[in-house]
Amino acid sequence: MKFNDAIVGIVIALLGAAIIFQASSFPRAQHIPYGPGFLPTILGSGLVACGVVLIVAGIAARRTQRLLELGEWSRSPRHIFGFVLILACLAFYALFADDIGHFACSVLILWALIAHLTRRPWRALFISLIASIAIQYFFVEGLLVPLPWGILEPYSGWFTWR
Amino acid sequence: MEVMLTALGLLLEPYTLMVILLASIFGLFVGAMPGLTATMATALLVPVTFFMAPVPAIAAIVSASAMAIFAGDIPGALLRIPGTPASAAYTDEAYAMTRKGEAEMALGAGVTCSVFGGLFGAAALMYFAPPLAELALQFSSYEYFWLSVLGLACAILVSPGSPVKGCIALLFGVMISTVGIDPMTGFSRYTFGYVQLLGGLSLIPVLVGMYAVAEILRYAIIIDAPVTITQKKIGNIFAGQLPMMWKYKVGIMRGNVVGTLIGALPGAGADIAAWVSYAMSKKFSKTPEKFGTGHVEGIAEAGASNNSALGGAYIPATVFGIPGDSITAIVIGVLYMKGMNPGPTIFIKNPELIYAVFLSFILANLMMLPLGWVAIKVSKQVLSVPRSVLMPIILMFCLVGSFAIDNTVFAVTIMLMFGIIGFLMEENGIPIAPAVLGLVLGPLIEGNFITSMMKADGRFLPFFERPIAGVLGVVTILVWMAPLVLWLWKLNRSRLATAAARS
């Protein structure tokens, strides 16, 4: 997913400008002229400068550099789906892990990804169950990470030897 | 000496030894899997080390990263795919040796030279770190300010590819370090109203996102035919190693020194050390024409170099708290989490801990001989683990690991965001290492700058008044100017060349 340098430059310059804009609203320090907005302003200016350099370079190279170079995978629906699936799984975990619990999320995510990548859904279900149980034991029982149980709360006792 | 014995005692506890052994196996596995890097091994280890005492925690990271850098050579020689970027420099050479039927020699050189390089790096660390720490004790905020700015400059100078893109990565890294409450004024910056961001972005979700999640995303879009190992059986890898090392002793020593130096430079790690050493080996070789046809000389020199870089990176990390590479950037984060601020005072307050780190380097490198032998013997089985099953499980490790740092699902959101950012950065030629360095050095730079300014009543002159600060300041400014001067010089030369061509 390679963009033309000019596009990267525009994004970077805008990011820098937004940082400077935010920093300008920061309060000033009392005794010296260097408050909380000082470093961000420098960094933002640097990003704007680098962004401008990239814009110029990108425009200069517009004949050889396409606006967006996607690579071979963009013509394979299977690979696009895999890419989106990973992002979707992570977003799903971030949104729902607290409510439906880590274990259920883990089985679902592992099954979805392994089934997609290996194309063998039943074997994937088996692997995802085994792996989820192993991770659960290692982190929750071994390292005492308080992973949320969510809807499986009533069954949490099944998994402990304590 | 007494400290050394205490340190040895800490290291030789059965629990610590078991941790080192497990971490080594983990490191060997991760290093040997193409696409999983030594930095990723370290980042994935952090959630686990979180629950350990300091010595086993650091020893685990040291041994895992050392093993991973070596193990990267294995798929390089057998599949022509480097296991970690540190082996990329000589992958073609090693594979050419395998095709000539010299896989044993290539893999054996990987093990023995890695061990030698690793031991050299550890020795350099033990020799140079304590006196440097003594010197660093006299440093004030001025010196630290210059040192961290110098660190940033080095990161750009050595970053591969376009310096502008290196600069962007660096600025971005420092920028994300300003998120959260400003320690000087208590004002919250760039938190967008999220309470979870008040304490700043946690290093681990950011790192796991940029290194691991980005790599998994990249795996998802790779289109290539599965590769198979052609090598039938691997014989005795240690046969003929000693004569080989003796023959190329000068080159290997040069690799050791270059590796340690590059490792000690902030922002440059094992991968750059290997590239530089391989190129140097070719340049100084008596038989440069043999390079690329399956010649062990470059592998020996670069293999020693990338492992000695690991030890070198700990010199600035332990002495100044400035990471020498992306692995030590994580180590510094771990030390802070354990309440031990890296820097010269750690040599006074917890000398046994520092010496335990040194000794764990030696132990890990000695263990590399037997473990490396086993790893090579079982490499066929290891390399046939399907990545289509492995990658999702690693993703789950990333999720749980990020969660474990703060025990919030919010960390997963951060990880996801930085996974996408890291993926886009790499795709567009913006290196990740300077961003990580910036993230670690950011608070150091700002804190030391504001402190210095308060002491100096807002004047700039005191930044140069102390002797060491003055020298560091001048060097830093020169290093920052270097790319500009080089660019002007090149411009001038090309102008002269065109003028000459016209006349």
φ, ψ of residue A144 to 5 degrees: the values are 60, 35
Position B302 pLDDT exceeds 70 = yes
User: Per mean pLDDT, which of A63-72, B103-112, B330-339 is the most reliable?
Assistant: B103-112
CB contact under 8 A, B171 and A135: no
Query: What pLDDT sits at residue B232?
Result: 66
Chain B residues with CB under 8 Å of A94 CB are 409-410, 412-413, 416
Q: How far is CA B270 from the centre of its chain?
A: 6
Contacts of A146 in chain B (CB under 8 A): 407
Per residue in B135-173, pLDDT tens?
Answer: 888 888 898 899 888 888 877 777 777 888 989 999 999
- Report the alpha-carbon distance of residue A105 to residue A116 in Å, rounded: 16
Question: Quick check: A1 contacting B, CB < 8 Å?
Answer: yes
Mean pLDDT value across chain B: 87
Give the minimum alpha-carbon distance from A132 to chain B in angstroms, rounded to a whole number.
9
Q: What is the DSSP letter of A150?
A: G
Q: Tens of pLDDT along B190-228?
A: 888 888 888 888 888 898 899 889 989 988 888 766 666
Longest dimension (CA), chain B: 77
Mean pLDDT of B54-81: 90
Q: Which residues of B touch A33 (CB under 8 A)?
A: 458
Locate all alpha helices (DSSP H) within B338-350, ordered by sequence: 345-349
Residue A51, C-beta contacts closer than 8 angstroms, at least 6 positions apart? A8, A9, A10, A11, A12, A13, A14, A15, A16, B168
pTM (2 d.p.): 0.86
Tokens of B229: 């190992």
A102 part of contact set with chain B, CB < 8 Å:
yes
Gap between the Cα atoms of B331 and B341, Å rounded: 11
- pLDDT tens for each residue of B308-327: 999 999 999 989 888 888 88
Helices (H), B378-466: 379-383, 387-406, 410-427, 433-455, 462-465
Q: What single-letter DSSP state applies at residue A140?
A: I
Residue B181 bridge partners (DSSP): B188
Among B383, B443, B327, which residue's Cα sits nearest to residue B80? B383
CA dist B405 → A27, A140, B202, B339 (Å): 32, 13, 8, 15
Assembly ipTM: 0.93
In B, which residues are within 8 Å of A34 by CB distance?
449-450, 453, 458
Chain B contact present for A117, CB below 8 A: yes
Question: Average of pLDDT values for B404-431?
Answer: 91
Q: State the pLDDT at residue B421.
A: 96
Task: Verify whether the Cβ–Cβ distance B47 to A143 is below 8 Å.
Answer: yes
Give the 3-state secondary structure of residue B188: strand
**Cβ <8 Å between B172 and A47:** yes
Instruction: Find out whether B121 and B263 touch, Cβ atoms under 8 Å.
Output: yes
How many CB atoms are closer than 10 A to CB B225? 5
- pLDDT tens per residue, chain A (162 residues)? 888 899 999 999 999 999 999 998 888 777 777 888 889 999 999 999 999 999 999 998 888 888 888 888 888 888 999 999 999 999 999 999 989 999 999 999 999 999 999 899 999 999 999 999 998 888 888 777 888 888 887 777 776 665
* Residue pLDDT, tens place only, B7-32: 888 889 999 999 999 999 999 999 98
In eight-state DSSP terms, residue A147 is -
Q: Which residues of A touch B225 (CB under 8 A)?
A: none
Identify the pLDDT of residue B369: 92
Find out whether A83 and B221 touch, Cβ atoms under 8 Å.
yes
Residue B234 confidence (pLDDT): 80
Q: What is the pLDDT of residue B229?
A: 67
Q: Cβ contact (<8 Å) for B223 and A76?
A: yes
Q: CB pairs below 8 Å between A and B: how many?
A: 172
Is residue B36 predicted with pLDDT exceeding 90? no
